[in-house]
Amino acid sequence: MHACHRYFFALKPPVTEARRIGLVRDRLLPEGAVPVSNDRLHLTLAITNDYAAEPRDVAERMLAIGDALDGDRFGIALDRASGGAGSVALRPSQRAAALTLLQHRLDAQLRYWGLRREGWEFNPHVTLGYRKGPVFLEPLAPIAWEARELVLVHSLVGRTRHIELGRWPLVRKQLELFSG
């Protein structure tokens, strides 16, 4: 099977929280659904189009974007489960300001370099799996963690394979000046 190539920046939950998300996934997905494995759970921040052949220049540009980025750590709390016509996901009821800022910075860089996926809009969520079923939205006990690093993933679409190309800690790279 021939895969296409996609690149995206994401936040990944730590192992403990990924296991908790997996338990919710196992409860919510009906028989016959296609689950997202715990090691592939993520919240996408910025994404490229799909490419038939692996574009090394795109991967190199995405790595350079990650190298130049700075941002603060922040908390994420997924406290709603939602089902659409084709998938089930966990979502936050509130967005942290730092999440929005980080996403806007990444989006601006992908737009500048002409790498941003056409028609894509940021809607923070962690996809649990794919299924056909009714639309729903339900509150749940929050699954929370501190986002400490940004991850760049090369996705082999059609093979359900993710290759991590880079990780960057979320810490300010510039020193703040204090007056006084």
The pair of three-digit structure tokens given for residue 163, joined into one six-digit string? 């290759």
Q: pLDDT tens-digit profile of 71-104?
A: 899 999 999 999 998 999 999 999 899 999 999 9
CA distance 29 to 83: 9
Give 15-65 pLDDT, tens digit per residue: 999 999 999 999 999 999 999 999 999 999 999 999 999 998 999 999 999
Q: Which helix (H) or strand (E) holds 8?
A: strand 4-11
pTM for the model stands at: 0.91
Chain length of the chain = 180
